[in-house]
Amino acid sequence: MGKSILIINGPNLNMLGTRQPEVYGSDTLADIEAACVARGKALDLTIDFRQTNDEGEMVDWIQAARTDHDGIVINAAAYTHTSVAVLDALLAVEMPVIEVHLSNIHQRDEFRQHSYVAKAATGMICGLGAQGYSLALEALASRLGTNGGSTA
C-alpha cells in the first residue's frame, strides 16, 4: 500500500454507540475503524487506528508518527479542549493533521468550542458524525498524492 495514516481517538470514544447517541451517533468505534480501513484501502492508504484514554500515551503515539506515518487523523475528544501537550506534539511532527469531531463543537458548551488541536491541524471536520473520518482520509490522500486521492 501507499502512505500510512495514524488515526488517534481520545478519551471515552471507546464508549461510542452507547454514550450519548443523540450527540455522538450510534456507530461504535469498531464500526468507524472498519469504515476507515475500507476507505483507506480504496485511497491506497494503510490505516493504523488507535484509541486511548491516556494523554501521555496519545502524545507518545503522535511523536512516534514522525517516523512511522505520513499523516494523522485525530479526534482528541476532551483533550481537544485541554491539552497543550497534544498541541505541542502535533506541531513537532511536521506532517498533515486533520482534526475530526463527531459533533459540531461550535454548537456545544462554550468550553468545547475551543480547540488546541486546531492550531496544528491542516483542517478540521466537525458535525458530520462518523462520515468525518472518511472525509479526513480523502483530504489526506489528496494532500499526500496517493493514487486513490483526488488532486483537487
Here the CATH number for the domain that contains residue 113 is 3.40.50.9100
Q: Identify the pLDDT of residue 113.
A: 63
In a domain, 150, yes or no: no
Contact 71, 98 (CB under 8 A): yes
The dihedrals phi and psi of 71, each to the nearest 5 degrees, come to -170, 165
Query: What is the extent of the structural domain holding 106?
Result: 3-144
Indicate whether 152 belongs to any domain: no
pLDDT at 12 exceeding the cut of 50: yes
Please check whether residue 151 lies inside any domain of the structure: no
Lowest mean pLDDT across 18-27, 36-45, 71-80? 18-27
Give domain status of residue 25, yes or no. yes
Short-list 83, 56, 84, 61, CA closest to 72: 61
Give yes or no for residue 151 having a pLDDT over 50: no
Would you please indicate which residues are annotated as catalytic (active-site) residues? 24, 101
Burial class (CB in 10 A: 0-12, 13-18, 19+), 74: buried
What is the number of domains present in the chain?
Answer: 1
Per-residue confidence (pLDDT) for residue 152, from 0 to 100:
44
